Amino acid sequence: MEASVPINGWTTSLDCLAWSHDNVIAVGVRDGVALLAPRTDTSSDDEPFWKIANLEVGNFSLEEIPTREPLPWSYFSIGQEISERHVVSVQWSPPGLGTFGRCVLAVLFANQVVAIYDCDGRLEAKESWSRVNLINKTLEDAIPNMQIAPQPSPRSERAQQERSLRITSFCWLPSPETHNAQDPLQARLSKKTYLLAVCDENAELRILRVHPPLNLIKPDQGPWRTAIIDSCSLIPVDPLPDPINSCLPFGAFVPVVGHVDRVSCSPWICKDDNTIVATVAYTYDSALFLTTFTASLENDEFQILLRTSPERVGSQSIRSPLQWLPNSTDQRQNTLVYFTDDGCTKLDIICSEVPEMRETVIHSSSQPWSLFAGLQFISPRLGQVEVCAPRSQSDFQDEEALHLFHTDAQPRASSPSWAKRIDKLKRRFNRERIMNGNISVYVHGFATSPLGDFSAPSISFHPRHGLEYSIIAKQEANVVITRTHTASEDRFLMTDPSIIVSHAVAAEVVFQAVARLKKLDAIPDVGNIQQQVLRCMGYYGASDGNAPGALPPPDSLNMAVHELRTILLRISSAIQLRSQRMIEIALGQLTIPAPPDLSILKSLVLYTAHLPQWMTSGGRMSMWSAKLHQTILEKLVERDKLSSGHQNTQQTEQENVETCHICNAGIPFESLMWSRCNKGHEFARCGISFLSLQATGDSKSCCICGMQYLNEHKIDDLRKGSITNGHAMEDEPMQGADGVRLSEPLIRVLFAACDTCIYCGGKFTG
């Protein structure tokens, strides 16, 4: 996993690198994005670990981003009028928003446009990524009469409307369901709320709710909907005079509104009255301000109740990104870390009846003119958090350019783990181009891995003195990926427990960490590995629960989804089996593809056996799947009887459950992994519905164990007859006790409940 990955092109901003919870690195390069995705095959070391997909993201049509007339000089925006659409910032969403439960990528361009990109296939394939939403269109739709021409409004009012569409900064908010009082395992099972905050040139902050692309329980809702749920002004009541404005000549146009270039939101904190609170920090003309949002989360419905007026913190200018600690040891406190002219500073915000703030300079240092390229936290030892903040420009000969600071002990300055690797690249660059040591290192972005065990700056080399001439095709940057600490037997996975609370760690991230253990001389005890895996993924707190057949029949689809999700993902026995399979595959002890685990399979079919008839007969696919589940249950019961010594003399004839769409012959049930019609056509079987996967593109697979599943995004296409040789499925949608009328209710319940592989926990890929 440690590597120096070359990128074709120079990065164009200080906030151009982000590392997703799915272990994908995004690097903004000119008007594109380079995505670094890890290979899924861990059996071979011949090919590179990181695969690169170069996305062209800066191309917008005139319908998407129309060309508008320039604004008056007092409102003129260089970014809007003459921008080359370079990438300014990239940020990954919390996990679960994208297709197959992955993260989506939000990109801010120099022309003040924010777009969202999603992957519906392989992460390393360029063709799998596409733009799915333009946030500016949502802002435009919220302005009445924006599309009417000619505009009857005065030019100044028109200018205000135009400026409200120009996004200067944005950030993803943590999911409210992951607040500090929430059980980590319950947070994994809960339906998430995804929020995006954007700020425009009028210093207006808008909170948008972004809906996932597919809702199986509410299919009437369109894909990728975004809606503004709240807005407020970030203009302070008593702003301080801008020192730049005082230097302008007489008669020059003074900016009407200050510039908000950084926005960051804290984790949510639960108060005694069951409301949740989050603090939004932002820089207004380089000064730090805070505003607090209070919201409710009742019956899974998120609603903002109130917000406070902007409050300034300190008098120094902010020189770095704003970064919140993932979670504080104090359940009533959030901590913000940033750099000012005085040095590295932390701000403790205590949530109480009378909120209070404590600003502390934890390390004073002389400040050169260069800014900080990034700010991230690492944990070299349990219970200890350090801040790593490389400067954007350095000759890399002075340790003052790279610092690590303790946030809970005496500060110290030292070189990070990637300093030696960058120095090696620098010497090679100097030797190849005969630079005689006249080299300066530019750092554009810095990120850490989902587990915090690796860090990666994006760097490029340039002449320290003199002019630089380059051809775009020859420009090259490097993403330098190195370990942040040395792995040990008792701690080869986890860094800090706060990571568990802040988000759900993906199984494939842990899978890669376990697979690296094969390179050790002595592999740690498997029991120790499993304990660390369970702790790392937040699986502690699991219960034994009720037997699937002992539950009363659910009266709604939502209840069925919740019960099935709990049985397969929260019961301790299922969790143990799932983590054990993932470890065996990572260590090469289990050959894939492997058959389904019979214990997990029995829990699944026992639950579907007691579902009401309206769920199992509301469509051809649901009826076939219910019949297959019943057949599997009968065979499992028969197997248990044989293992206990009972003799079975009755021979059952194989019944045709499905129909082959090639020859229209019947398909009997012969295997959990494959199916074969009576005329010899063979297909793979879905790992949860056990329907035959008969059409190309109608399936997805687990990225760990390779188990094949039906692609739930193809349910409507399959209903129309793609698996029945063109015979349309015009089954009458069934209506449950909750009044919901949906086709294929059983199929919808199965795939709404199981957004990861039920046998190893891995996410899916198309």
Residue 309 confidence (pLDDT) above 50 = yes
Mean pLDDT in residue range 521-537:
82
Q: Which residue has the tokens 């820089």?
A: 283
Beta bridge partner(s), residue 702: 764
pLDDT for 136 equals 92
Kindly tell me the burial class for residue 56, based on how many C-beta atoms sit within 10 Å of its own C-beta (0-12, 13-18, 19 or more). exposed
Q: Chain-wide mean pLDDT for the chain? A: 81
Residue 223 has pLDDT above 80, yes or no: no
Residue 163 is predicted with a pLDDT of 85
Give me the amino acid identity at 606. Answer: L
Of the listed ranges 228-237, 471-480, 578-587, 650-659, the least confidently predicted one is 650-659
Taking residues 254-264, report their average pLDDT. Answer: 81
Q: What is the mean pLDDT of residues 403-419?
A: 61
Q: Which residue has the tokens 């039920």?
A: 758
Q: How far is CA 696 from the centre of its chain?
A: 28
> 471, exposed or middle or buried, with CB in 10 Å at 0-12, 13-18, 19+?
exposed
Predicted pLDDT at 320: 87
Query: Could you count the other beta carbons within 10 Å of the beta carbon of residue 712?
Result: 22
- Minimum mean pLDDT range among 105-109, 156-160, 361-365, 485-489: 485-489
Looking at residue 739, its pLDDT comes to 47
Residues 6+ apart with CB under 8 A from 718: 621, 695, 698, 710
The DSSP secondary-structure symbol of 543 reads B
| DSSP annotation string for 516-537 | GGGGSSSPPPHHHHHHHHHHHT
Top mean-pLDDT range of 91-105, 465-479, 514-528: 91-105
Q: Which is nearest to 713 in space by CA: 118, 124, 249?
A: 118
Overall average pLDDT of the 648-673 stretch: 79
Q: What are the start-end ranges of the H helices in 415-486?
A: 419-433
The pLDDT of residue 119:
92
CB crowding 355-387: b at 16 or more within 10 Å, else e: eeeebeebbeeebeeeebbbbbbbbbeeeebbb
Residue 648 has which token pair? 């079975």
Q: What percent of the chain lies above the pLDDT cut of 90? A: 30
Q: What is the pLDDT of residue 404?
A: 55
Q: Which residues contact 552 (CB under 8 A, 6 or more apart)?
A: none
pLDDT band for position 184 (cuts 50, 70, 90):
low
| pLDDT reading at 737 higher than 50 | no
pLDDT recorded at residue 278: 93
Structure tokens at 588: 């090469």
Output the 3-class SS for 153-220: CCHHHHHHHHHCCCEEEEEEECCHHHCCCCCHHHHHHCCCCCEEEEEECCCEEEEEEECCCCCCCCCC
Average the pLDDT over each of 610-624, 652-666, 709-723 and give the range with the smallest value: 709-723
Segment 410-428 shows an average pLDDT of: 76
**Residue scoring higher pLDDT (418 or 460):** 460
Q: Which of 67-71, 90-94, 556-560, 719-723 comes out lowest in average pLDDT?
A: 719-723
Instruction: Report the distance separating Cα 59 and Cα 113, nearest Å.
Output: 11
How much is the pTM? 0.90
User: What is the spatial distance between Cα 712 and Cα 149, in angstroms, rounded to a whole number?
Assistant: 43
Cα–Cα distance measured from residue 616 to residue 626, given in angstroms and rounded to the nearest whole number: 6
Name the residue with higher pLDDT: 672 or 272: 672
Lowest mean pLDDT among 87-91, 404-408, 576-580, 672-676: 404-408
Contact 23, 511 (CB under 8 A): no
pLDDT of residue 304: 92
Question: Beta 674-676 vs 682-685: how paired, if at all?
Answer: antiparallel
Architecture of the 3-246+259-501 domain = 7 Propeller (2.130)
Cα 358 to Cα 360: distance, rounded to the nearest angstrom: 6
Confidence of residue 244 (pLDDT cuts 50, 70, 90): low
CB 336 within 8 A of CB 263: no
Q: Indicate the SS3 state at residue 368.
A: coil
CB 96 within 8 A of CB 22: no
Residues sharing a CB contact under 8 Å with residue 577, sequence separation 6 or more, in sequence order: 597, 599, 600, 759
- Determine the pLDDT at residue 408: 53
pLDDT at 616: 86
Beta bridge partners of 764: 702
Closest to 445 (Cα-Cα) out of 392, 373, 375: 373
- pLDDT mean over 406-426: 71
Q: What is the mean pLDDT of residues 462-482?
A: 84
The Cα diameter of the chain in Å comes to 103
Asked whether the predicted pLDDT for residue 413 surpasses 60, the reply is no
Q: How far is CA 207 from CA 135, 139, 321, 737, in A?
A: 11, 11, 20, 35
708 — pLDDT class (breaks 50, 70, 90): very high
Domain segments of the chain: what residues?
Answer: 3-246+259-501, 506-765
Residue 728: predicted pLDDT = 40
Each residue of 145-167: pLDDT tens digit? Answer: 555 444 445 666 777 888 888 89
Q: By C-alpha distance, which of 697, 708, 702 is closest to 673?
A: 708
Our separate counts of H helices and E strands in the chain read 15, 40
Alpha helices in 347-484 (DSSP H): 419-433
| Mean per-residue pLDDT, 237-255 | 65
The pLDDT assigned to 250 comes to 60
Task: Report pLDDT for 150.
Answer: 46
CB 68 within 8 A of CB 85: no
Report residue 105's pLDDT band, with 50, 70 and 90 as the boundaries. Answer: very high
DSSP lists the bridge partners of residue 227 as: 209
Q: What is the pLDDT of residues 263-297, one digit of tens each?
A: 999 999 888 888 899 999 999 988 999 999 999 98
CB atoms within 10 A of CB 11: 27
Percent of the chain surpassing pLDDT 70: 77
Q: Which two tokens stand for residue 231?
A: 């807005």
